[in-house]
Homo-oligomer: A and B are copies of this chain.
Amino acid sequence: MVQRPQKTPRKIASQKRSRVTVDALVEATARILVKDGYDRASTNRIAAVAGVSIGTLYQYFPSKEALVEAVIERHTQELSQVGQTALLKVAASPIEIALRELVRAAIDAHRVDPKLHRVLAEQVPRTGRLEDIEAVERNALPLFRAYLEAHRSEVDVADLDLAAFILVTTVEALTHSAVITRPDVLADEKADAFVEEVTQLMLRYLGRDRGAKRGTARSK
């Protein structure tokens, strides 16, 4: 259990057969993480579920951490993809339109694989190379900042960096919390209200939509 494993894999998958093996290992890791949690996700078990021997596992992943990192990498890519696609789509739209779409996208992203997302967020110790899962935010922040910059005239804030940080952090936290611990606020009829509230939170902060009539078309 002492951690003095390699830092790099001994081999890199080159033939098709081995690429299949690598995929199976990553997929098995994800499945076990979801089903049994991080602590019970032993490398022996992962190899067994992937249908390969433990030795094979260590051909391509130098440590358990590397395996989990691959899962995080894959998951993060999927999330970021949703976000980037959404940002591209609304790049030319005014903030009133764009922010609403981005909030929707953030929720969609968290729904890609919520169970895995939860495990990664709650159980995987962030250590070494996976210091923070919030790599998604790191990806999203500069992109969103660029959007704000392009729409500078619609936006009334002193510090764009700070504003981008605040908004990205806020949206991530709210969608995360909603998906993970408050599924009720995302139930069918209520989901729109939630999107609307978060959108308003952002719009008003940016100095738009001030004094808009409120309390209409929102229930409870």
Q: Which residues of A line the B interface, CB within 8 A?
A: 37-39, 122-127, 131-132, 134, 156-159, 161-163, 165-166, 169-170, 172-174, 177, 181-182, 185, 193-194, 197-198, 200-201, 204-205, 207, 210-211, 214-215, 218-220
**Stoichiometry, copies per complex:** 2
Q: Which residues of B contact A127 (CB under 8 A)?
A: 37, 39, 123
Q: Which residues of B contact A205 (CB under 8 A)?
A: 200-201, 204-205
Within the complex, the shortest CB–CB distance from A63 to chain B, in Å, comes to 13
A163 and B197 form a contact (CB under 8 A): yes
Within the complex, the shortest CB–CB distance from A218 to chain B, in Å, comes to 4
Question: Can you list 27 A-B contacts (CB < 8 A)?
Answer: A37-B127, A38-B125, A39-B127, A122-B131, A123-B125, A123-B126, A123-B127, A158-B193, A158-B218, A159-B218, A159-B219, A162-B185, A162-B193, A162-B194, A162-B220, A163-B197, A165-B177, A166-B198, A169-B174, A170-B173, A170-B201, A173-B173, A201-B201, A201-B205, A204-B204, A205-B205, A211-B211
**With the chains together, A127 CA to B125 CA distance in Å?**
12
> Which listed residue (B39, B122, B161) contacts A132, Cβ 8 A?
B122
